[in-house]
Chain A
Amino acid sequence: MLQGWVVVATSFAYLGLLFAIAYYADRRADAGRSLIANPYIYSLSLAVYATAWTFYGSVGRAASDGVGFLPIYIGPTLMIALWWVVMRKILRISKDNRITSLADFIASRYGKSALLGGVVTVIAVIGIVPYISLQLKAVSNSFTIVLQYPAIVMPAKVGAVPMLQDTALWVALSLALFTILFGTRHLYSAERHEGMVAAIAFESLVKLLAFVAVGVFVTFGIYDGFGDVFARAAADPELRPLLTPLEGVAGGYASWVWLTILSMLAILFLPRQFQVTVIENVREEHLKKAIWLFPLYMLAINVFVLPIAFGGRLHFPGGVVDADTFVLSIPMAERQELLALLVFIGGLSAATGMVIVETIALSTMVCNDLLMPVLLRLKSLRLNDRADLTGLLLGIRRGAILLIVLLGYLYFRLAGDAYALVSIGLISFAAVAQFAPVVLGGIFWKGGTRRGALAALVAGFAIWFYTLLLPALARSGWLPIGLLEQGPFGIALLRPLQLFGLAGLDQITHAMLWSMIANLGAYVMVSLSGTQSAEEHRQASVFVDVFRRSPEGGGARFWRGTASATDLHHLLARFLGAAAADAAFRDHAKRKGLSWPTQPLTADADFVHHVETQLAGAIGASSARIMVASAVKEEALTLEEVRRIVDEASQVVMYSHQLEQKSRELEAASSELRAANERLKELDRLKDDFLSTVTHELRTPLTSIRSFGEILARDPKVDLAQRRRFLGIIAKETGRLTRLIDQVLDLAKIESGRTDWTETAVDLREVIGDSVAAMSQVLQEKKVRVEVHLPEQITPVRVDLDRIFQVLLNLLSNAVKFCNPQDRRIEVTLAERDGWLRVEVCDNGSGVRPADEKSIFDKFVQAGDTLTDKPQGSGLGLYICRHIVEHHGGRIWVQRAPAGGACFAFTLPIERGAPIHQP
């Protein structure tokens, strides 16, 4: 049943299924119900690490080296233990800085250097090409083998078939097409590919299932369990050395150690691993599960490698069958068609998964870090003017995918036969390991510079190229083999495989040793011998101190902000008071060599920091951060950044709003307090003035009384007429005293609210007449002419007669005091209108200053300046009048009389509770 069309149809059906899964996951993601937002899918997607190399190559390696395949999985396990320290940091940095790829990460760390990003991209693409060729080789070989069923025939040498009949070419083209359909259907926001991740996770399940199925079949179907396989191997003299392999194989322990280190680095820096672990990560917490689930997956897929390897060696003695194909050839030899098909699909899974993720990651780099920076700088393209670059970006990415896969095919045609699967893969591992110093150094050491990073990458990559890629091409016959044996130009010291005469190591160990010395050496030396630009310096601290910054993680963004010095001063004054804010400003100005406030301060980052520090002393560092952030306007936030701030920092924003509101409330409360305090002070001052005034008013009549009292008592010579006059003065001044005391008592009653009101129906015409009559003596003395205008009809009004009488007397005596001394005239008018009675008492004096018109009715207030104008009275009369009138529901005010004097008027409602209409 394993005819060609069945295999091809099954393959395409499988790819179709993957496509469906990806499509479904994308739909779910668009609907906001992410399929991949859980740690299990995340862990399975990380297993994209297991490629055709693992699926076919591990058995091949084990068949010749024994445990030699294991460091590739133990290394990552050890590195993953460090993930909690290393990967969490990389994740946080990447999320904070919106990193889109490994190249972006490195470029961003070293001052957003486009050159560095380009170099990383070139290294990654060239380094990964052998790895992709490995997948093509594995898939095309397995396809070729399966088609020969039931015969077991090894594929022909590469190049023996014309290119167009080469299976690998068609595999390559199909994979490229599939990846393009898959990964670049549209531009994903945030560079995340949910559909791809879901499909990859599914593929991880398929390849594990297929491999375990073969393992179980070989171990328990063909043989009788692990013990049986190993016992037979131990009995075979050819296989016996593989049971204690570490002494026999090339390099021994050194090789083991280097492979472990290499794969520790590969798990971090392979572009596809960076893609699934960092870029596609949904939540940082998923690391917790991935830290043990992913190693567990690697353990599981390796359990049956040795039984299959030994089983294969026992099954196909003599080495006629390539050990790299055992996984497929054993089921075929045993006529297990379905199992063979499953294995083929498993291998396809492993290869496609790798190619898809790797090429998507690389195409992102090629697009974002290599081509776009160049294209955007080419002014002739006018890309900056184009609003929508989506089409261009997609085109570049699709082209890049096709190019990378074809490069893989080219490498396969050139050098595919010279090495086994694992050896090909290790060349790629060694290439990406060159990223280790600049990335790990970059996140833990602030001193690394852009030039140091460039030097490190170039030096490391050059050595890698010379000691690993060149020999591969030479062995395949594309370069003279003499290059390896005699060295270039016959210089033995420069032989690529024994550089500087270093012999006795296996190829990978040799290459890693030299490239790492060059790489690390250049990184440290060049970094230490140069200086960083401001941008590099800032990015270095953003990366290294990522956990030290506040939770919203906006440090870098934050310093790009601008603020006005006024806002900052306002902010400081709100928490520290204006004086301390002034002091802080002067302090800062002094350090800048300016003199504030005559010279304005610019609110630069340094100043903002200064303000934040000041504020932190008062309200704590985190609150200070929030407050400053709210005063600082941020520059050019992209839509993405805004979305992220809203998502991640909505909590912070809420707190900041609450804090701001609280501070506003505090501010309001404190200004109320200040106002209250001012009023108290004002009252205190008024009281002081009042006491002084009352004292004066009491002492003045007392002076006359005492003086005349003493004269009358001691001087017998005073004649009778004079005695009478003096006694009269005493009597008058006593009356004045009495009035004052009455007023003070009235005031006391008003203040305490214990005034008694006895209301009767009153005809106001009578009250006015009585009050004028009561004043008649004073009026006559001062020769005041009084005109009284009363209406013929008037409605009686219910009032407290004595109090209204008191009001009238007060207004009249005021009028007498203030009227024109040369021609004293007073007019009193009563009128009734719209349910209101209105009384006016006008004099012909100098009037009341407009500024005093309101305050004159306040307690203790006297018209005019107390020192230049002698006050007349205690300042209580009008206050008492106002109180009385308002108690009756009326209003009292002063206006300028037509003749120029003061006109005091008050109204009384005829019926209490009458409309509030005021004439």
Chain B
Amino acid sequence: MHGFEKKGQRMIALCMLGCVLFNFPILALFNVPGLLFGVPVLYAYIFITWALLIALMARVAEKRD
């Protein structure tokens, strides 16, 4: 039961982290002209952050209790 609680808490934390990263004002910091690896900064930021978030979710979800 303790393990489940922990996993739940970590997941909630990830959700909150995502809510902050994909929201004003953080998004505004990247809403600027220019390219990163040939991709507009905002797009690069969103896709990279998204991928990292999914990786973290995978880690927490698959972690044994």
| Contact residues in B for A67 (Cβ distance below 8 Å) | 42-43, 46
Is there contact, CB below 8 Å, between A253 and B28?
Answer: yes
The docked-state distance in angstroms from the alpha carbon of A246 to that of B18 is 18
The docked-state distance in angstroms from the alpha carbon of A228 to that of B31 is 20
Interface stretch (choices A70-78, A155-163, A773-781, A868-876):
A70-78
13 contacts between A and B (CB under 8 A): A67-B46, A70-B46, A74-B18, A79-B15, A81-B53, A84-B11, A227-B38, A227-B39, A230-B38, A230-B40, A246-B42, A288-B62, A289-B61
Is there contact, CB below 8 Å, between A292 and B54?
Answer: yes
Is there contact, CB below 8 Å, between B54 and A295?
Answer: yes
Is there contact, CB below 8 Å, between A299 and B47?
Answer: yes
**Which residues of chain B from 26 to 56 have a CB within 8 Å of any chain A CB?**
27-28, 31-33, 35, 37-40, 42-43, 46-47, 50-51, 53-55
| Contact residues in B for A691 (Cβ distance below 8 Å) | none
For the complex formed, measure the closest distance between the CB of B47 and the CB atoms of chain A, giving whole angstroms.
Answer: 7
For the complex formed, measure the closest distance between the CB of B42 and the CB atoms of chain A, giving whole angstroms.
Answer: 6
**Which residues of chain A from 809 to 867 have a CB within 8 Å of any chain B CB?**
none
| Contact residues in B for A82 (Cβ distance below 8 Å) | 11-12, 15
| Contact residues in B for A914 (Cβ distance below 8 Å) | none
Report if A579 contacts B (CB, 8 A): no
Is there contact, CB below 8 Å, between B62 and A81?
Answer: no
The docked-state distance in angstroms from the alpha carbon of A243 to that of B38 is 12
Report which A residues bind B (CB closer than 8 A): 66-67, 70-71, 74, 77-85, 225-228, 230-231, 234, 240, 243-247, 253, 256-257, 260, 287-289, 291-292, 295-296, 299, 303, 306
Is there contact, CB below 8 Å, between A243 and B40?
Answer: yes
Q: Which residue of B lies closest to A225 (CB)?
A: B38
The docked-state distance in angstroms from the alpha carbon of A762 to that of B39 is 125
Is there contact, CB below 8 Å, between B27 and A246?
Answer: yes
The docked-state distance in angstroms from the alpha carbon of A77 to that of B53 is 9
The docked-state distance in angstroms from the alpha carbon of A277 to that of B36 is 37
| Contact residues in B for A240 (Cβ distance below 8 Å) | 33
Which of A81, A228, A230, A231 has the largest count of B CB atoms less than 10 A from its CB? A81
Chain B interface residue count, CB cutoff 8 Å, equals: 34
| Contact residues in A for B53 (Cβ distance below 8 Å) | 77, 81, 295
Contacts A74-B22, A80-B57, A246-B27 given; does A85 touch B11 at CB 8 Å: yes
- Which 5 A-B residue pairings sit nearest by Cβ, starting from the closest? A227-B38, A292-B58, A81-B15, A243-B40, A253-B24
The docked-state distance in angstroms from the alpha carbon of A80 to that of B19 is 12
Contacts A70-B46, A77-B53 given; does A246 touch B38 at CB 8 Å: no
Is there contact, CB below 8 Å, between A84 and B8?
Answer: yes
Is there contact, CB below 8 Å, between B61 and A288?
Answer: yes
Is there contact, CB below 8 Å, between A244 and B33?
Answer: yes
Is there contact, CB below 8 Å, between B24 and A257?
Answer: yes
Q: Which residue of B lies closest to A253 (CB)?
A: B24
For the complex formed, measure the closest distance between the CB of B6 and the CB atoms of chain A, giving whole angstroms.
Answer: 11
Is there contact, CB below 8 Å, between A85 and B12?
Answer: yes
| Contact residues in B for A253 (Cβ distance below 8 Å) | 23-24, 27-28
The docked-state distance in angstroms from the alpha carbon of A566 to that of B38 is 81
| Contact residues in A for B12 (Cβ distance below 8 Å) | 81-82, 85
The 8 Å CB contact of A78, one of B19, B31, B39, B47, is B19
| Contact residues in A for B37 (Cβ distance below 8 Å) | 226-227
Contacts A253-B27, A257-B23, A288-B61 given; does A303 touch B47 at CB 8 Å: yes
Is there contact, CB below 8 Å, between A74 and B61?
Answer: no
| Contact residues in B for A84 (Cβ distance below 8 Å) | 7-8, 11, 61
| Contact residues in A for B57 (Cβ distance below 8 Å) | 77, 80-81, 291-292, 295
Extra pairs beyond A81-B53, A299-B50 (11, CB < 8 Å):
A70-B46, A74-B46, A77-B54, A79-B15, A81-B15, A82-B15, A227-B37, A228-B38, A243-B43, A245-B42, A295-B54
Is there contact, CB below 8 Å, between A85 and B61?
Answer: no
Is there contact, CB below 8 Å, between B54 and A246?
Answer: no
For the complex formed, measure the closest distance between the CB of A153 and the CB atoms of chain B, giving whole angstroms.
Answer: 32
For the complex formed, measure the closest distance between the CB of A604 and the CB atoms of chain B, giving whole angstroms.
Answer: 31
For the complex formed, measure the closest distance between the CB of A63 and the CB atoms of chain B, giving whole angstroms.
Answer: 14
The docked-state distance in angstroms from the alpha carbon of A228 to that of B37 is 11
The docked-state distance in angstroms from the alpha carbon of A67 to that of B23 is 13
For the complex formed, measure the closest distance between the CB of B59 and the CB atoms of chain A, giving whole angstroms.
Answer: 8
Is there contact, CB below 8 Å, between A296 and B24?
Answer: no
The docked-state distance in angstroms from the alpha carbon of A483 to that of B46 is 40
Is there contact, CB below 8 Å, between A244 and B40?
Answer: yes
The docked-state distance in angstroms from the alpha carbon of A261 to that of B8 is 20
Q: Which residue of A lies closest to B61 (CB)?
A: A291
The docked-state distance in angstroms from the alpha carbon of A289 to that of B24 is 30
Q: Which residue of A lies closest to B18 (CB)?
A: A78
The 8 Å CB contact of B39, one of A79, A230, A257, A296, is A230
For the complex formed, measure the closest distance between the CB of B35 and the CB atoms of chain A, giving whole angstroms.
Answer: 6
The 8 Å CB contact of A306, one of B28, B32, B43, is B43
Is there contact, CB below 8 Å, between A227 and B35?
Answer: yes
Q: Which residue of A lies closest to B62 (CB)?
A: A288
The docked-state distance in angstroms from the alpha carbon of A83 to that of B37 is 34
| Contact residues in B for A81 (Cβ distance below 8 Å) | 11-12, 14-15, 18, 53, 57
For the complex formed, measure the closest distance between the CB of B16 and the CB atoms of chain A, giving whole angstroms.
Answer: 9
